[in-house]
Structure 1
Amino acid sequence: MQHIIDRFISYVIIDTESDANSETTPSTKKQWDLAHKLVEELKNIGMQDVSIDDKSYIMATLPSNVEHEVPTIGFISHFDTSPDFCGANIKPQIVPNYDGKDIVLNADKNIVLSPSYFKDLLLYKGQTLITTDGTTLLGADDKAGITEIVTAMEFLINNPEIKHGKIRVGFTPDEEIGRGAHHFDVDKFGADWAYTMDGSQVGELEYENFNAAGAKITFKGKSVHPGYAKGKMINSMLIANDFINELPHGETPQETKGYEGFFHVHHLTGSIEETVLELIIRDHNKKKFEKRKELIEKITKKINKKFAKQFGEDIVTAEIKDQYYNMKEKVLPVKHIVDIAEQAMKEIGIKPLIKPIRGGTDGSQLSYKGLPCPNIFAGGHNFHGKYEYVPAESMQKAVEVIVKIAELTAIENSARK
């Protein structure tokens, strides 16, 4: 297991934070640092057809070692980290034989990872945890997934008695800003189906995710000296506040779970003359998703009508853009690919946790590009922040799942295309 820990740490100490404001791919030059390292590592462990394109998408092949026809499967992870929290100068801490008590991440800043708040920690008593030092995220999302895929391929190469079909590996940039699959060449990848290793706790197996859209709402106003503003001033910030109050109460991320959708206001900047509100719209149900977008339009029209005479033109404009869709529609017709992953977990003693993703993955977009792609656990917890951690044992279990999926898919006549 030390081999997995060392590999994981060698990845996370490289800053690969992506940038949503960049128009390049990858969105940050520093993502190339890990991309080039991964290319060399894939070659060194014996993978074939290792390639990296001009946008840093990495692909590699483990050839089949069986003579009968076997579906080509893939395993995919992303190497960028979220811009939501600092991803530079990561200093991982190792907590061996975790005792179930508070973990002091940073004594100087009094930052503590406590099971009284993060109850999942108690699932891992006696295990080896890898944490942050309290000043950065860790990057288990999704460098744990990359670690597991590389380690599983290395294991299969070093143990040729384990039978498997052709396996394709893909590593992508910019997943954290929603672009991980934008330039992924599905035809070049050439797999019948794939799995993203990008989930959280051991056992997670997901083939449903949110339908997603982003909305940018712009509010206009009129600035007048406040002492003489009666009947003249229009404060765009207050109109934005009215807009937010028109959204359904109780339908925010902090008040929903499971299949419940939400509106999430994540940026609000403004002045009297102009305010810009940015929010995201999420729902698993396609009809409810469309109704949420319609509500944004309805509120916009209501406010425009209210100020039509005073302002003389539309005072509010709404730009709504779909981001991704529920992969369930594309995975259900080939449900056996989920069944194989479920069976693999059961055969190595893992209880599958099949549930919807309250977010999206590369697999969502890839499924709509013709590559059905459920999501499997990578083992980390508390992604995108200073309390992120991953048990080394969870990464080892993920390696075993990858290997077992490869085995099951290679059994003659058992894996259907």
Structure 2
Amino acid sequence: MTDSTDLLDIDSLLSTEELALRDRVRTFVDTEIKPHIARWYDTAYFPLEIVPQMAGLGLLGMHLEGYGCPGRSAVEYGLAALELEAGDSGLRTFVSVQGSLAMSAIHKHGSEEQKNEWLPRMAAGTAIGCFGLTEPTAGSDPGNMLTYARRDGDDWVINGSKRWIGLASVAQVAVIWAMTDDGVRGFVVPTDTPGFKATPIVQKLSMRASIQCDVELTDVRLPGSAMLPKAKGLRGPFECLNEARYGIIWGAMGAARDSYEAALGYARGRLQFDKPLAGYQLTQEKLVNMALEINKGTLLALQIGRLKDAGRLQKHQISVGKLNNCREAIAICREARTILGGNGITLDYSPLRHANNLESVRTYEGTDEVHLLILGQHITGIPAFR
């Protein structure tokens, strides 16, 4: 974090290697994303041209070992997510869908053949993946998915629909979760398979510099070897979702930090009633409250990252981070916009763009309500989902 944000010398808790990686990603965001993001967001354009650079920085499948993957720590991945989302949630989401969802599914649950076929290409950015779990009528309750895979001799035939599937229209491979006679199973589906159709969702008010799609699967025929052999039941996709949720814990603080810095810079330079906005008590209160929550949220993310690296992270702790940091980040971005006044509704400044994006980030990989209920069950021992 910059000096104006890091009130607690959080940088001193990071190793030399962690700081170096953080700084490399920050430089990439400052030079390759921030100068263009207003145009990309305005025109709803996802910049595929920067994917090779992301791969070159080791951002794809960053936390995975072997098969050409970078094998970095959870904290290093978190720091990268924070810096990417300081650029835009859509660009951090690309790294999350590619690495934490699609690649993680194959890495955790795939056969050696599946791993060797897809992971090296995905780590190099020459193949893009997507993760098909959510359906038009099954978001927070994926156990009621309608997509179905039936056996036909040695093959599988899949029919169904998925919605809000990131990257599906530009992906070469999809991990599709479907109900079978043996419960929920995952399948590795090359997107050029007949019957696979991905249609981008347009007219979005959020995540405009990224791609989300409707996916239709019509008699998609796959060989028996397409099934992920180690994933049975909802535990398979949920393990991948927890990887994505972990990245969000860090990423949300990146959006918050960038919004705070935009508001602080504006307040220092904007004169009202003959002195800078930053010189007024009400403005300082807003800035202080923002900085406090960014420091607390970053410390929370770091603690969760250290627990993950130590192999001691528990599922409810991911919900603590996702719920808290998304909730606080969106409040920070909205408050930052108030300091910018009317100018804050333009794409000349980042806070409202970040706030709009966080409406999606707050919803996907588990809504506030889902994480509240996960934590409620942990605290009371009583599930209250139904």
Structure with more helix by fraction: 2
Q: Decide: shared fold, TM above 0.5.
A: no
TM-score (norm 1): 0.27
Quick one: higher RCO (CA 8 Å, sep 6+), 1 or 2?
1
Structure with more strand by fraction: 1
Q: Which has the larger radius of gyration?
A: 1
